[in-house]
Amino acid sequence: MTKKAASTKKKPTSFNYDAVVIGTGPGGEGAAMQLAKAGKRVAVVERYKSVGGGCTHWGTIPSKALRHSVSRLIEYNNTPLFSENNLNQQVKFEDIMRHASGVIQSQTKLRSSFYDRNRVDLFYGVASFEDKNTLKIANNDGSEERLTTAQVLLATGSRPYCPSDIDFDHPRIYNSDSILSLKHQPRSIIIYGAGVVGSEYASIFRGMGVKVDLVNMRDRLLSFLDAEISDALSYHLWNNGVVIRNNETYKSVEGKEDSVILNLESGKRMRADCLLFANGRTGNTDLLNLDAVGIKANSRGQLNVNENYQTDVDNIFAVGDVIGYPSLASAAYNQGRFAAEAMLEGKANTGLVEDIPTGIYTIPEISSVGKTEQELTEQKVPYEVGRAQFKHLARAQIASTTVGSLKILFHRETKKILGIHCFGERASEIVHIGQAIMQQKGDGNTLDYFVNTTFNYPTMAEAYRVAALNGLNRIF
């Protein structure tokens, strides 16, 4: 990040707006609401036909709605009460996507009401700079207009990285956005890229009975995770029939009338009904005409900002995927609020928490916060591990969600909690209990909290007590 201080100079009052926000995803919404509630004249520009950004229309909401439906279907079919009575169900991909579309519509309606209520002007079109205080809006109805503004916040998000040597117009070749428009349920799919998106879709399609080949460019899945959690995911996918190919890169992709062929640099050839290319994302900065204001994006379309989310131009700020890490919807919303604070007061008085939780919506899901075992070992921190297997919890047995575990990493001497790692159903909810305790000051963030606190029974949260006792038993 660059380190230039935010400008506190007074702005002229002859502008149409005090601030224009480009993009209505979580980052843009967070900033627009904060600025409007502070009494500023705010406009928001959205290039799509409705608000919500990629998060609502192509990313977080639809893929998680899809995942939820498939997960519930698996849970239903694995419940002895139904399976023993031959009540197993099958649902088509298009049926599940209809449910996801309903969720998107509800979210869009809700988010639109926020702008109406706070009297934020909405423009639907593509925004580009003419100078640092003037934006040209190419409206979706074909008209054009210009907005002048004291400040600009860029929250334009990102899109799937699509290399030019692959024909994404072919009806059997998809990226992580276009896969949601799939009109039929394939018998087989190749997923190229085993990051978060690739791993999530691998478990979703396999849960629907589709034959899945997952091609990974690295030597292990999601190598940023704690190794045990990564291994658990690999085993679970393998045990469910996903073929994982590590350390592979593509050479070429052939789109046929009835199939797609993936040629790998290793000489292997793979064929399936369709291909999902899920290898990274690119910031949406190419249409902004950044040259007009002297801002340069990097090779992945991302922008440099300082601790106040300010770019190299003093009145232009940026948040969310367009600035890179952590590229999370939850973090983007807070970044938008913090950037609005800097736009209002000259500096952001708050920032993202140090330990940002990771939620990965595979089936079962994964969530973690804090240090991994590998990081603690490398740093020579004397830690110990407490574990709870879900199969031993009454609530998991009742719900037939016994796959998975909770792992607490804590300092051997002080018992301070250093990391929480969870693999299993509802992991992204369970992890927040540990996160809340980790954030406490003084002696409030130790293992003793989980030992001495009474949890509802039966609950999945009880895993914390089981894991804490297991960890204490390892100390001598």
Q: Is residue 184 part of a domain?
A: yes
**Quick one: pLDDT at residue 353?**
85
**Quick one: pLDDT at residue 45?**
97
Model pLDDT for residues 292-335, shown as the tens digit of each residue: 999 999 999 999 999 999 999 999 999 999 999 998 888 999 99
Q: Is residue 353 part of a domain?
A: no
Within this chain, do residues 87 and 115 fall inside the same structural domain, yes or no?
yes
Binding residues: 46-55, 64, 156-158, 193-200, 280, 321
Question: What confidence category does residue 97 fall into, taking pLDDT thresholds of 50, 70 and 90?
Answer: confident
Binding residues for NAD(+): 193-200, 280
In this model, does residue 7 exceed pLDDT 70? no
Last residue of a domain, one of 259, 279, 299: 279
Q: Is residue 59 part of a domain?
A: yes
State whether residue 24 is helix, strand or coil.
coil
Contact 221, 360 (CB under 8 A): no
In this model, does residue 94 exceed pLDDT 80? no
Within this chain, do residues 177 and 244 fall inside the same structural domain, yes or no?
yes
Within this chain, do residues 154 and 286 fall inside the same structural domain, yes or no?
yes
Within this chain, do residues 199 and 270 fall inside the same structural domain, yes or no?
yes
Model pLDDT for residues 27-51, shown as the tens digit of each residue: 999 999 999 999 999 999 999 988 9
Q: Is residue 12 part of a domain?
A: no
Total-model pTM: 0.90
Within this chain, do residues 330 and 369 fall inside the same structural domain, yes or no?
no
Counting the structural domains of the chain, the total is: 3
Within this chain, do residues 439 and 408 fall inside the same structural domain, yes or no?
yes
Within this chain, do residues 150 and 44 fall inside the same structural domain, yes or no?
yes
Contact 375, 53 (CB under 8 A): no
Binding residues for FAD: 46-55, 64, 156-158, 321
Q: Is residue 354 part of a domain?
A: no
Return the H-helix or E-strand segment holding 367: strand 366-370
The C-alpha angle with vertex 315 and arms to 309 and 317, in degrees rounded to 5, equals 25
In this model, does residue 9 exceed pLDDT 50? no
C-alpha distances in Å from residue 421, one per residue of 357, 386, 408, 456, 467: 10, 11, 7, 21, 11
Q: Is residue 275 part of a domain?
A: yes
C-alpha distances in Å from residue 233, one per residue of 13, 192, 202, 207, 228: 56, 17, 11, 14, 9
Segments forming the whole domain that contains residue 425: 364-472
Kindly state the average pLDDT of the residues 440-459: 92
Kindly state the average pLDDT of the residues 249-275: 97
What mean pLDDT is reported for the chain?
91
**Quick one: pLDDT at residue 125?**
95
Question: What confidence category does residue 341 fall into, taking pLDDT thresholds of 50, 70 and 90?
Answer: very high
Question: What confidence category does residue 240 fall into, taking pLDDT thresholds of 50, 70 and 90?
Answer: very high
Looking at residue 444, what DSSP letter applies? G
Within this chain, do residues 100 and 77 fall inside the same structural domain, yes or no?
yes
Question: What residues have CB less than 8 Å from 458, skipping those under 6 apart?
Answer: 393, 394, 395, 398
Question: β-pairing, 281-283 with 158-160?
Answer: antiparallel
Write the CATH number for 287.
3.50.50.60
Within this chain, do residues 22 and 154 fall inside the same structural domain, yes or no?
yes
> How far is Cα 426 from Cα 428, in angstroms, rounded to an integer?
6
> How far is Cα 152 from Cα 134, in angstroms, rounded to an integer?
9
Write the CATH number for 387.
3.30.390.30
Within this chain, do residues 468 and 377 fall inside the same structural domain, yes or no?
yes
Within this chain, do residues 266 and 287 fall inside the same structural domain, yes or no?
no
Look-up of token digits 């902004």: 288
In this model, does residue 4 exceed pLDDT 50? no
> How far is Cα 420 from Cα 432, in angstroms, rounded to an integer?
9
Q: Is residue 58 part of a domain?
A: yes
